[in-house]
Structures are given as structure tokens and as C-alpha cells.
Structure 1
Amino acid sequence: TDYNFIITALCPVNLRIDGLIYNEQDNSIAKKESCDRIVELPSDGFLFPLFNDRAPDINGVLYYTKNAKKPNTSVVEELLGCEFSMTCQNEKETFKDILTNVVGDELDYDLITTVNDKISTFVDQNAHETEIPTIDEHKLSSILWEAGVSQDKLENLPKVFDAAAGGKPLTAVNLVEKRTVVSAPSITVNIGKDAVDKVKTQVIDGRKCLIINLDDPEIEINGLETTIK
């Protein structure tokens, strides 16, 4: 099968400036500008049709953007006539905003890691489905309830979810954090998925502490094997 396609690159264009010249009539130094135009690297582009399963697919278009975190939605919606969907990073930030605005002061280490684990399990359970698993308002409400969020907090979820995501479900796999990162000024602790239960927060003698289980025999500090005495 022949694959005939259209590939388009949208490139910023600037006038070329060669430098300065001496203007004898005015006895002055002037900027020399030519009519040459410099074509810069593409900021956006698209390929149509897609190439799927070794054949053209007219039901899709491949879109390119220079900045994946800030795609040009006008190109997607106005030029290509497609409905814009949030990027992975956009969905992750939207999800964080929803959690912050709904859960508020109930957010802690156990709740955050439990919610992440439940979404990860949901993704794994639906890995073989034809449709990509998504998290809508009702599914998120169920996950938060199972994680221990109070009913009073969950009453605010519908309006918060609608305002943040426009009522559209979020792609579940985009919300999963592969590592739990605990950050404080000058300190960052990366916790793998299998070690979440080895870390907890606790107040000791009035001070907020992060407790890390170091009972494993192999411990390294700056790449050097060591022991805890």
C-alpha cells in the first residue's frame, strides 16, 4: 500500500540583519537590512494521515510542538480542527490542584502514597482493555474515600473537578508517580515504589521528623557502603 502524506512545519521567520553601514548622504551610521528572511526551527508541525499498523490512518493526525509543556492550542483547534486534550504534564498538575483544593489539611504522606498506589493498581487492572483507563469525578471520589478522606471534604469534589478539568476525565496513567519525592529546604528524598512503607512522618519531642527504615543490610552513602551504628 502506498503511503501518501502531507507534512507541514510552521516556522518563525525574521528579517536578516547584516550589520551597520556608513550613509554618505546623511553622514551617519545606519543599520543595514536586507530583504532576506531567516527561517528558524519549527515551533509547530503536523503529519497527515497517521501511519498505523503499516497503513495510512485518516482518522488521526500527528502534531508536533517545540514546547510540549505549552502546546499551541490554536493550531490544534483552529488549524487542524481537532479537540485539544491536555498533555501528561498538564493532567498531572491539574490532578495535584484538585487534591490540594479538595483534601487540603488532610494531605499527608500516607494519604498521598495511598492514592498513588490505588491509581497505579487501577491502571494495572485495566492494562489489557482496548480503551485507555481514565479517572472521572466518581472514580476519584471512590479512591479518595477508600484512602481515608472525610465525607465533608469530598462534598467539594464535583465543583473542584469541574473547574479544574472542565468535567473531562483524566488519563489514569498520567497521574501515577513512579517515585515518591519528599522535599524540604536543602533536602530531597527519592522513595521507590516498593519502599513507600519503609518511610513515615512522625512528631518526636515536638519536632516534625521523617523516619526511614534502614534495616536493610546494604546501605550506601555517596556510593560508599556503610553501616548504621
Structure 2
Amino acid sequence: MKEKEAAELRRRFKADKSAITHVRGCYVNEKGEIVSQFDQSLAMMGQEESEKLLSLLRRTLSGGMDRNLLDITFATGQVVSGEEHRLLMALRDSALRDEEAVQAFFQKAIGSLDLEGNYLILLAHDRYDVPYKAKDGEAQKDASEEVYSYILCSICPVKQTKPALSFYVRENRFYNRQADWLVASPELGFLFPAFDDRSTNLYNALYYNRDVGENHPDFAQAVFAVEPPMPAQAQKETFQALLGDSLGEECSYEVVQAVHEQLRELVEEHKENKEEEPLLVSKGAVKCVLQSCGVSESHIASFDSRYDDSFGEDTRLSPKNLVNARQVELSTPDVTVKVSPEYSGLVETRVIDGKKYILIPVEGEVEVNGVPIRIEG
């Protein structure tokens, strides 16, 4: 899916636009036991409560593509006869009214989740009459191409607040506010089927994780029978280690800076051009940068081999997951220096009298904890 398609669905999660009539779910305690189940009608809720519930669900479609939102692809065999895919289809086709399917899903999800404390599993079904879009991008509400029927699952931690002192202005007095239980933003969830090219794609799902360093593989395996993509943070750490290990003594500041600069430029160009397709780079693109920096063929071959082992030969990665587009960070065991990307070319590394130095030329004032200092020549 593309960010534009996720945004189109997010806009539906309002009381006057959504076709969601009820939300099914269960409350699970820290022991993994279902304490209660509910089938909540939005029409029977107050406007404020229904809006907050829809807002919780909407957050399962938030975050960046290939970071928080990951594409899950089913094999053809799974779509034809896979148990997991059949269960998801039963939930969708019955609009969550198939009691056996709902209970089976709850048990499957609970058995695979490893969350601390209590949590809610929320399930919603929606039918979206997809408006036709002309070539100029204008939507024509009266001209619909299809009805997109889908389910959305959100798994939300339930956290206990601390007792606190509150002041009630109208009564002009203080009260002790008791501890209470609040539903937090979703930790993970998914959309099924995918909304690819603004149309139903039964071969894909969209998998959400709030933490870019976590992908809850046990849950993904239980629900989709698919290994989820590597978390964004793990991609970054793996790529960093990959460069250092494969380039060895040729892994200089200039080489790393050139790789990162190239990736940042790709991100900026993609953003400026407002391209809809997700930006992905191949192993070959990184190898071309290494070659332009004069890295030896033996080290490039090492990078090639290690990349295949770490990510897979044909795997393309999002540059946003590999570099920090906002700053360049140079770290030693005791000191960390942060530089804006546009000035990273000013940084030099040298060995003077046998000692390693990071050199940054300075123009204008220099401050230490807000105090301007003088640097004598």
C-alpha cells in the first residue's frame, strides 16, 4: 500500500464518514485470560466516546510506510487453502458476526502476544464505497468503482493511572483523584485485506507496529503464517554493522558520509517530487556509491555477500530506515558530536602526532552551555 491510500482510509474514521456500526473486542488481563467481551454499538455511545474509539482505531493506520506500516504478502497457496487466510476472510465476509471465527481469532491472538499488563483487542468492520477518481485527481462520489470491505484490528494496552490531586474550578476546591484504567494508543494491529491502488487486494495485509524496533513476530506468524519484515530500527543497525564489517580499514568517514549523503538526497528528491510509490533502494545502488568512493573490489564483494546474508539478495530497503535525514552523529566512548547534514562535508578526521582527531572548522560565535566563548589563534 501507499501512504496516500492509508491516508484515504484514515479520513474515514469519523462518525459522519465511517460505515462502522459496532466494535467487537475483549479485555485481557496480565495472565492472558479474557476478563470480558463486548460488542459495542457506536450508535448507543455518546458522540465524544464514539469519536475517541474511532480515533484509537485510526491510529492503527498511522506512521510511516515501511517503518510503522509493513506490507504482509500471502502466498497463493495460503489464499487458496490457508487456515490463517480463511479465518481472516470469515471475519471480513461475516462483518464480525461469525461467532466461531471471532472466538478463534481471539484465542489465536492472545496465545501469540507477549505484552506486559492488561490490553484490549478491538475488531471493526467497514464497507467503503470507493469513489471514482478522474485523471485530474478529483473524486466523483456518485461514480463508485467498487465497495471495499475490510476489517481492522487494534491491540491497545490498558494502563493504570496514579492517584493525583485535582482542582475543580466550579467548586473552588481540591479533590483526590483515584487511580483509574485508561486505554492507550494501539501497540500493534493490522488491516485486511490491503487497499492497493484503491482496490481490494486479498493477497496482502497492512501490519502496524507502534515501535519501529519491534515487529511482534509471534503474532504475525500466528495471524498471517508469514514472517514479518525486519523492523526499521533493526534494518538501520544491521546496515550500519554491514558497512563496518565488510569495508574494514576502508570504512572511512568520507565513505560513510558519501553513502549517507546519497541516501538522504534520494529521500529529499522523493519528497520534493511527491512520488506516490514508496522509495526503495537496491543493493546495487549502494555498491555504485562504494565504487565511486574508490572502495576496493574485494571489500565491495564482501558487502555484496553480507548484504545477501542479512537482508536477502533481491531485498530493497527504504532509505528512511537506514539513515537519519536530520543529522550526522559522530560518537566516541566519551563524546558525541551532532552535525546538520548540509554541513557534514566540513568535518574532517585526522591523525596528528599519533592521536585521532575530529576537526570541524568554525565561523562565527561558539557557545558553551549558552555562554559565548573566544577561541584564541
Scaled to the shorter chain, the TM-score interval is 0.7 to 0.9
Give 3-state SS (helix, strand or coil) of 2:348's partner: strand
Matched, 1:72 2:216: yes
- Once the two structures are superposed, the pairs formed by residues 132-211 of structure 1 within 5 Å of their partners are 132-167=278-313, 168-177=315-324, 178-211=326-359
Instruction: Label 1:108 to 1:74 Cα distance change in 2 as closer, same or farther (>3 A).
Output: same
The residue number in structure 1 matching 2:230 is 86
Unaligned runs of 5+ in 1: 17-37
8 Å CA contact 2:330, 2:337 repeated in 1: yes
Alignment partner, residue 253 of structure 2: 109
Structure 2 CA distance for aligned equivalents of residues 96 and 9 of structure 1? 41
**1:15-51: CA deviations, max 9, x gaps?**
99xxxxxxxxxxxxxxxxxxxxx96145654254599
- The percentage of aligned residue pairs carrying the same residue is 22
User: How many residues are aligned here?
Assistant: 204
Structure 1's 14 and 98: CA in aligned 2 closer, same or farther, altered over 3 A?
A: same
Q: Secondary structure at the match of 2:364?
A: coil
Aligned to 1:13: 30
Give the whole-Å Cα distance in 2 for the aligned partners of 1:87 and 1:72: 9
In 1: Cα distance, 2:318 partner to 2:248 partner: 23
Separation in structure 2 between the aligned mates of residue 221 and residue 13 of structure 1, nearest angstrom = 48
Q: CA 1:9 to 1:132, structure 2 compared with 1: closer, same or farther past 3 Å?
A: farther
Name the Cα RMSD after superposition. Answer: 3.3
In structure 2, how many angstroms separate the alpha carbons of the residues matched to 1:224 and 1:79? 57
- Partner residue of 1:40 out of 101, 118, 139: 118
Give the superposition deviation at 1:68. 4.1
Instruction: Structure 2: give runs of 5+ residues left out of the alignment.
Output: 1-16, 34-115, 120-155, 158-186
Q: Which has the higher contact order (CA 8 A, sep 6+)?
A: 2
Q: How far apart, in 2, do the equivalents of 1:8 and 1:221 lie?
A: 54
Aligned to 2:44: none
- Mapped to 2, the partners of 1:137 and 1:190 lie a distance apart of 28
What is the one-letter code of the residue matched to 2:263? I
Q: Give the letter aligned to residue 90 of structure 1.
A: A
Letter matched to residue 173 of structure 1: K
Residue in structure 1 matched with residue 239 of structure 2 by the alignment = 95
The residue type equivalent to 2:208 in the other structure is Y
Measured after TM superposition, the shift of residue 227 of structure 1 is: 1.9
Q: Distance in 2 between matches of 1:64 and 1:9?
A: 20
Structure 2 match to 1:3: 19
Q: Is 1:97–1:164's contact at 8 Å kept on the other side of the alignment?
A: no
Residue in 2 aligned with 1:20? none
Cα distance change, pair 75–206 in 1 and its aligned pair in 2 (3 A): same
Give yes or no for contact 2:366–2:374 (8 Å, CA) kept in 1.
Answer: yes
- Closer/same/farther in 2, CA of residues 103 and 10 from structure 1, 3 Å limit: farther
TM-score with structure 2 length normalisation? 0.47
**Secondary structure of residue in 1 paired with 2:249:** helix
Is the Cα–Cα contact under 8 Å of residues 46 and 63 in structure 1 kept in the other structure?
yes
